[in-house]
């Protein structure tokens, strides 16, 4: 086996695998180094198992809804071990697919800890690989702040391998991971308290959507504790006693921390081969993903631009073409109008500017909002609602942002993201005939907007 390559990629997550495969397709000699699992965070302890668990957490609601349609679902029961093990089997299948993709592309795989020893040199557990270029695609890891008793908490990775589901659980954090976990655990039958130190969770999302999701989660029975922080945690007889900044004492079977992620840089560089890092430890890169060290590149969560799997994939494709392709990219990757979703309960789909961002940037906008009860719930008493919102530039009529909270939010947003990316106007939306009866038709039937000036 040769130890000389044109590109050595450290990290076999989404971005690293895509970059390695595409670079090999351009004719480069490529090696990839991975010490943990193929597919990275997304496949193993992120997007994929989270979405599977989210599907599972919706079934109790589906059973309750079925009764409104004349079905008798009495006597159903849930077995956590079945869901957990079926998930694990599916993840193992995906791991194998990632390995086959690399093998079929002609990428040489090294299993072990990769470390940058010098420009053009990567060690893998003592074995030295020489290369023209190095790509760092090592991703991130969960961050738990330092406080008395933090050894008693679990992180997001742990949820996917729990021996038993806790009866009473706290989820600490206000980002999308914490909010998703709160909804999943509640749906699976846990008594859930979400604790967040800020006024309202999901900072960075549209304000109306944030408030709507909080209302819906509270309606479901999730205990939301905003403006609350954890001072310390004590453990007694398997229970976790949480002491808050307001002097309260709360008890749980488990406490999950989802308070952000940081770049996974553990023993990644020798002392003489450390690139410039940002305040949060993210590797600093230019528009070509070049670090401060010549020939060393980085992409994905480790550069902390947009921590999204499709973004890492796009970065990997762009960089492979830039370094080895005959047809070079015409310009840097465009990060504008990238759609994303939060698989909270209710789901969120969003693309483009929030109302707050638009007012700060444009100054004069029109806002179109609709909150409604989806048709499938009208045969019963459950007060499930959805919200749809459009942000429009008042001077150009261009749709700047689209935000949805409710069932199928992600699926609806993905389709409309194409229109937003192409620069659709509100007139284009209005000229589109809706599909009836659907929730998505609300996006092309809203006529009364509110004019707002910064």
In the annotated binding site for FAD, the residues are 51, 114, 301
Dihedral pair phi/psi, residue 46, rounded to 5°: -145, -120
Burial, 431: exposed, middle or buried (Cβ in 10 Å; 0-12, 13-18, 19+)? exposed
Cα separation, 148 vs 171, whole angstroms: 17
3-state secondary structure of 237: coil
Owner of token pair 């390559």 = 5
Structure tokens at 137: 């695609």
Handedness of CA 33, 35, 36, 42 (dihedral sign): negative
- The token pair at 149 is 């008793």
- CB burial of residue 15 (10 Å; 0-12, 13-18, 19+): buried
Whole-angstrom CA distances from 128 to 106, 125, 145, 265 are 20, 8, 36, 19
**Residue 251: how many CB atoms within 10 A of its CB?**
12
What is the C-alpha separation between 115 and 111, in angstroms, rounded? Answer: 12
Distance CA(98)–CA(37), nearest Å, equals 10
Q: Tell me the C-alpha distance between 82 and 380, whole Å.
A: 31
Q: Phi and psi at residue 445, in whole multiples of 5°?
A: -120, -5
Give strand pairing partners of 243.
Answer: 232, 249
As a whole number of Å, the end-to-end CA separation of the chain is: 63
Instruction: Say if residue 336 is exposed, middle or buried (CB neighbours under 10 Å; 0-12, 13-18, 19+).
Output: exposed
Q: Are 263 and 302 in contact (CB under 8 A)?
A: yes
Give the residue numbers annotated as catalytic, written as ranges.
436
Give the annotated binding-site residues: 51, 114, 173-180, 260, 301
User: In b/e form, how buried is each residue of 129-146, taking b as 16+ CB within 10 angstroms?
Assistant: bebebbbbbbbbbbebee
């Amino acid at each position: 086996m040769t130890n000389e390559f044109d590109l050595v990629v450290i990290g076999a997550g989404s971005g690293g695998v895509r970059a390695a495969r595409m670079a090999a397709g351009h004719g480069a000699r490529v090696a990839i180094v991975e010490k943990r699992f193929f597919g990275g965070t997304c496949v193993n302890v992120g997007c994929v198992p989270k979405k599977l668990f989210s599907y599972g957490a919706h079934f109790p609601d589906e059973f309750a809804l079925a009764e409104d349609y004349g079905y008798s679902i009495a006597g159903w029961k849930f077995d956590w071990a079945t869901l957990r093990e079926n998930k694990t089997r599916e993840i193992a299948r995906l791991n194998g697919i990632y390995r086959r993709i690399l093998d079929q592309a002609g990428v040489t795989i090294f299993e072990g800890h990769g470390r940058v020893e010098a420009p053009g040199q990567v060690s893998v557990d003592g074995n030295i690989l020489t290369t023209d270029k190095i790509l760092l695609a090592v991703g991130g890891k969960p961050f738990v702040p330092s406080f008395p008793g933090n050894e008693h908490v679990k992180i997001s990775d742990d949820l996917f391998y729990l021996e038993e589901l806790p009866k009473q659980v706290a989820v600490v954090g206000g980002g999308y991971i914490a909010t998703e976990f709160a909804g999943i655990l509640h749906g699976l039958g846990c008594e859930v308290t979400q604790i967040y130190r800020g006024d309202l969770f999901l900072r960075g999302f549209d304000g109306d959507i944030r408030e709507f999701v909080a209302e819906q989660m509270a309606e479901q029975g999730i205990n939301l504790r905003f403006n609350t922080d954890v001072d310390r945690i004590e453990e007694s007889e398997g229970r976790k006693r949480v002491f808050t900044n307001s002097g309260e004492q709360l008890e749980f079977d488990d406490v999950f921390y989802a308070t952000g992620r940081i770049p996974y840089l553990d023993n990644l560089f020798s002392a003489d081969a450390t690139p410039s890092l940002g305040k949060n430890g993210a590797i600093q890169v230019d528009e070509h993903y070049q670090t401060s060290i010549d020939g060393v590149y980085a992409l994905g969560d480790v550069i902390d631009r947009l921590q999204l799997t499709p973004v890492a994939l796009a970065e990997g494709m762009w960089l492979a073409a830039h370094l080895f392709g005959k047809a070079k990219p015409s310009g840097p990757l465009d990060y504008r109008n990238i759609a994303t979703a939060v698989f909270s309960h209710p789901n969120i789909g969003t693309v483009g500017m929030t109302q707050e961002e638009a007012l700060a940037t444009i100054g004069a906008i029109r806002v179109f909002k609709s909150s409604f009860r989806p048709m499938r719930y009208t045969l019963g008493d459950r007060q499930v609602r959805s919200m749809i919102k459009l942000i429009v530039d008042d001077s150009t009529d261009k749709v700047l942002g689209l935000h949805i909270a409710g069932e199928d939010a992600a699926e609806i947003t993905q389709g409309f993201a194409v229109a937003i990316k192409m620069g659709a106007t509100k007139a284009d939306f209005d000229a589109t005939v809706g599909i009836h009866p659907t929730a998505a038709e609300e996006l092309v039937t809203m006529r009364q907007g509110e004019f707002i000036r910064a």
